Amino acid sequence: MLRWVIFVIIYLVLGFYSLQAIKTASRYPWVHYLFILLSLFVIGNFLYQFTGTDGGRVLSRPKSYAFGFLLAMLSFQMITIVFLFGEDIFRLFVGVYQKIFSTQKEFSIPSRRRFLSIIALGIAALPFGALLMGMYKGKYNYKVLKYQLEFDDLPDAFDGYQITQISDVHSGSFDNRSKVTYGIDLINKQQSDVILFTGDMVNNKMEEMLPWRDLFAKLEAKDGVYSVLGNHDYGDYVSWESEALKAQNLQDLKNLQKEMGFDLLLDSHRYLERNGEKIALLGVENWGRGGFKKAGDLEKAKQGVSKDDFKILMSHDPSHWEDVVIQDDYHFHLTLSGHTHGMQFGVEIPGWVKWSPVKWRYKYWAGVYQELGQFINVNRGFGFIGYPGRVGIWPEISVITLKKKGLT
């Protein structure tokens, strides 16, 4: 309870400070009252959603939107305060200087400068508006990102082989069937040889996928649809009445994937064949650094696979690639991961800049990387969780074409 009280006090102080900029910039009282009401509504809705019996752990759509609106308001307040606090230091310095070195007897601080408040509010409105637009439109702004990767030892028959990768569906967050349908159609439109899904089908429970199973069952590729589990698929982030119910939820999710036509790889492998040649497709359960579940067993998945085989590995968390996979003596040519979502927020201008705060936690967080002659593609995710939107880091459908070096 104390942490909520402290949080609300800090929020109100930030809001009061931002209100000073609004009062300086606008002389209309209704503008001031509108900001006060909006601020109170945002914090009130957030508290209502997150102080329930579950402690806010079940990320329902109302909770996600409450968090999103709070995030937008806090961004507005923080940027406004950066300008106002700097000006206040300057105003205080001027007041002290005038008291000491001028003839005036009373200590006074100069008034706020209106033009600076207007600039502060204008700049603060940019992330505020972007976060709101990300909730309205950005979360379904699907992008098809295409990569061509070359390998010396790719079997000739697989030259030009096309893979579509999707990841992090988080079906419990979806709220627009027509937009999700568009995304599914866009995946099928790529007409890839195989579709690979790298985990996190739900936020917490299998039942979240039920309204969407008919759509995802429409995914089709010549060589099939394969999948692995992500950290959210195990039901670890909600309370269960018993371990038996939690285990049943996981089994139901596995069964559901099978019903939809997904071949779920649980520390196992399959061979993809073409014209008498083959490549190995391996999939491990979730293995993540920093408190995430380490269920994946790479050694088990490798059983029956030759070192000489061309190998593609599906592993949800890219930290597995960094900590384990690239050092393995089996040499995994291509690893496909997701998990990071690119934090659903950042700046990307192809060929110029790619930045997100998530880079401070994950070295490999979005796109293709190469280390020790091995590739990884970290998919930015098809869905969203927590903040119900995306800004700058859009939902991704990866299309990867395998090429044999030296083969025309």
* 218: amino acid identity, one letter: K
Element (H, E) at 75: helix 61-101
* Domain 142-404 classification at class level: alpha beta
Q: Would you call 379 helix, strand, or coil by DSSP? A: coil
The full set of domain ranges for the chain reads 2-136, 142-404
50 to each of 1, 55, 194, 324, how far by Cα in Å?
A: 12, 6, 41, 37
For residue 150, count CB atoms less than 10 angstroms from its CB and return exposed for 0-12, middle for 13-18, buried for 19 or more.
Answer: middle
pTM, two decimals, is 0.91
CA–CA separation, 342 vs 362, rounded Å?
A: 10
Q: What is the greatest pairwise CA distance in the chain? A: 96
Residue whose pair of structure tokens reads 């089908």 in the numeric block: 201
Q: Is 356:313 a contact under the CB 8 Å cutoff?
A: no
Check residue 56 and give its pLDDT: 47
Residue whose pair of structure tokens reads 């700046």 in the numeric block: 347
The pair of three-digit structure tokens given for residue 186, joined into one six-digit string: 């866009």
At CA 376, angle to CA 371 and CA 382, rounded to 5?
Answer: 155
CA–CA separation, 305 vs 348, rounded Å?
A: 38
Check residue 96 and give its pLDDT: 60
Per-residue pLDDT of 159-198, as tens digits, reads 999 999 999 999 999 999 999 999 999 999 999 999 999 9
At CA 160, angle to CA 155 and CA 165, rounded to 5?
Answer: 100
Q: Which residues pair with 377 in a beta bridge?
A: 336, 368
Check residue 60 and give its pLDDT: 81
pLDDT averaged over consecutive 10-residue blocks of the chain (408 residues)? 88 90 88 95 93 63 93 94 71 60 58 75 93 96 97 96 98 96 98 98 96 98 97 94 96 98 98 96 96 95 96 98 96 98 94 93 97 97 96 98 86
Element (H, E) at 285: none
Check residue 158 and give its pLDDT: 97
* 60: amino acid identity, one letter: S
At CA 392, angle to CA 390 and CA 397, rounded to 5?
Answer: 75
Per-residue pLDDT of 101-136, as tens digits, reads 666 656 555 566 677 788 889 999 999 999 999 999
CA–CA separation, 225 vs 245, rounded Å?
A: 28
Give the residue from 5, 63, 70 showing the smallest Cα distance to 38.
70
167 to each of 5, 108, 298, how far by Cα in Å?
A: 38, 60, 20
Handedness of CA 103, 105, 107, 111 (dihedral sign): negative
User: Which parts of 246-341 are beta strand (E)?
Assistant: 262-264, 268-274, 277-283, 311-314, 334-337
